[in-house]
Amino acid sequence: MESHVGEMIAGREGEKIWLLQHPPLYTIGARTQSSDILHKKFPIHKTSRGGLATYHGPGQRVVYLMLNLKERGLKARPFVQKLEDWLILALARLGAKGERRHDRIGIWIADKSREDKIAAIGIRVRRGISFHGVSVNVNPDLSHYDGIVPCGIARHGVTSLHALGIPASMREVDQALQDSFADIF
């Protein structure tokens, strides 16, 4: 990803979007505190993205977006808002009501008794090029989040499409993301 962004900055490569799944691991962003790591259940990888600690693993769709924000006329904050719009629309296509929160990044699912995060956002922008990206919990083992304070937010939990009773396949999630991306970007 770093190499591709360097090539984009040099004008030798175009935009790319990667959809993938990681083996179980924790990633830490630039602002992660040692208190955000509760126990080292999985390998920890330091990243150059913004944000705090998060989990990545099987059953979670990770999307890395290497986009030219200058050419798209976007600055970082409006880009994050578009990422939120994109995720909310994709989740709606799958039957989930995702919501944004003014005081925290990511997409949330609320019911009467609680709020849980279903999608995370962690990006970096270098010379007008975005990288890192978003993750959507499709059907990961949610107990894997127990080793960290997800995104530094201890008072809320995490959820997934399957935990909400939406048995979407990874292919269906990818299609919803693709269709929604075209609508938002």
10: Cβ contacts below 8 Å, ≥ 6 apart: none
Q: Lowest mean pLDDT of 18-27, 106-115, 175-184, name the range.
A: 106-115
In degrees rounded to 5, what are phi and psi of residue 117?
A: -85, 130
pTM tops 0.75: yes
Cβ atoms within 10 Å of 69's Cβ, excluding its own: 19
Smallest CA-to-CA distance from 164 within 120, 109, 88 is with: 109
> 25-73: per-residue pLDDT in tens?
999 887 887 888 888 889 999 998 878 889 999 999 999 999 999 999 9
User: Residue holding tokens 């990888």?
Assistant: 45
Count of domains for the chain: 1
CATH of the domain at 104: 3.30.930.10
> 127-183: per-residue pLDDT in tens?
999 999 999 999 999 999 988 777 777 778 899 999 999 999 999 999 999 999 999
From the candidates 28, 109, 151, 176, which is the catalytic residue?
151
Residue 100 scores a pLDDT above 90: yes
Q: Is 151 a catalytic residue?
A: yes
Q: Which domain range does residue 133 map to?
A: 2-184
pLDDT at 163: 96
Residue 93 scores a pLDDT above 80: yes
